[in-house]
């Protein structure tokens, strides 16, 4: 039987990177103490979600993967605890900038970098100003065991069924989504938290795979516009889309759950979704509109 224990972290952030790293590290240690082998912090936990406005001085906070303070801290922690930590960070690569994720293994080494493929652009989420679209393609990594492969999409990627299905076809056995999402400045009455969960639970059901999602909480950038509030609701669900651990909108902590990958494989084969695929009929999906 192949079982894996995973964790999703939920917490608020400030513009103090050292405090943010310390707070994340505390929760990583808590999760590892409960047996977690893979611990997922939220997206861009190095600071407040800066993409709510366009400010050219904010590019200075980016750094290469081998120099970024958040990545270096998680490398040391992963090695000390012998766990995997998928680490989101603002990456600088020469003159280019990406919303990236470093997959850090239990030896503390970066196994590779995934650059966010889908980049949003709208009120409060003006990421196209800061980030180039990722050029790595989707990535899947070996997990705690060779047959427990980890697929990771970053935030806006989670709305696209193509992201989840592609990672599954690459061999993923679990899907992880670090996130920074909350209020919509253009519509104070719009709460996307329900759709956000449903989209990812749909990926779990249609691919028969567990999904782990980590979001931030709190209000950031408080000013005349009231700032931007992040709605949490981090969760872990099994291959049927049933929630096995969850937070609401305000809790700080580490969700921890043990998932049975052998059971998921059995159910995935039994449902026949991959047996009955008709790729020859899907060409329209990869054509320009």
Residue 146 has what pLDDT? 80
Name the catalytic one among 46, 91, 127, 155. 155
pLDDT along the chain (289 residues), means of 10: 93 97 98 98 97 95 97 98 98 98 98 97 95 97 92 97 98 98 88 95 98 97 77 98 97 98 97 96 89
pLDDT value for 145: 87
Helix (H), strand (E) at residue 244: strand 243-246
What CA–CA distances, in Å, run from 94 to 65, 110, 224?
12, 19, 36
Strand 174-178 versus strand 150-152 pairing type? parallel
Per-residue pLDDT, 223: 62
**Known catalytic residue at 220:** no
Buried b (16+ CB within 10 A) or exposed e, 107-145: ebebeebbbbbbbbeeebbbbeebbbebeeebbbbebbe
Q: Is 155 a catalytic residue?
A: yes
- Of 116, 220, 239, 246, catalytic: 116
Report the length, in residues, of the chain: 289
| pLDDT attached to residue 188 | 82
Taking alpha carbons only, the member of 69, 123, 68 closest to residue 97 is: 68
Using DSSP, state whether 26 is helix, strand or coil: helix
Summarize pLDDT for 33-42 with one digit per residue, the tens. 999 999 999 9
DSSP 41: P
Whether 237 is a known active-site residue: answer no
């Amino acid at each position: 039987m192949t079982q894996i224990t995973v964790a999703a972290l939920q917490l608020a952030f400030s513009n103090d990177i050292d405090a943010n790293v310390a707070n994340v590290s505390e929760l990583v240690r808590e999760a590892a103490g409960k047996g977690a082998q893979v611990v997922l912090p939220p997206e861009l936990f190095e600071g407040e979600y800066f993409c709510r406005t366009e400010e050219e001085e904010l590019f200075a906070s980016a750094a290469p993967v081998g120099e970024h303070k958040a990545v270096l801290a998680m490398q040391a922690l992963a090695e000390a605890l012998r766990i995997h930590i998928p680490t989101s960070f603002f990456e600088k690569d020469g003159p280019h900038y990406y919303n990236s994720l470093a997959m850090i293994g239990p030896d503390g080494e970066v196994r590779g970098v995934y650059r966010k493929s889908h980049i949003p652009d709208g009120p409060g989420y003006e990421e196209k100003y800061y980030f180039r679209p990722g050029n790595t393609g989707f990535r899947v990594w070996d997990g705690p065991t060779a047959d427990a492969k980890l697929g990771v999409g970053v935030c806006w990627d989670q709305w696209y069924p193509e992201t989840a299905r592609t990672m599954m076809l690459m061999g993923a056995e679990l899907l992880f989504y670090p996130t920074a999402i909350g209020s919509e400045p253009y519509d104070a009455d719009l709460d996307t938290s329900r759709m956000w969960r449903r989209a990812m639970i749909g990926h779990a059901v249609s691919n028969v795979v567990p999904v782990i999602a980590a979001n931030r909480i709190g209000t950031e950038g408080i000013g005349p516009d009231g700032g931007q509030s992040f709605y949490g609701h981090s969760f872990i669900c099994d291959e049927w889309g049933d929630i096995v651990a969850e937070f609401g909108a305000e809790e700080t902590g580490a969700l921890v759950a043990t998932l049975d990958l052998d059971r998921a494989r059995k159910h995935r084969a039994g449902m026949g979704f991959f047996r009955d695929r008709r790729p020859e009929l899907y060409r329209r999906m990869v054509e320009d509109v």
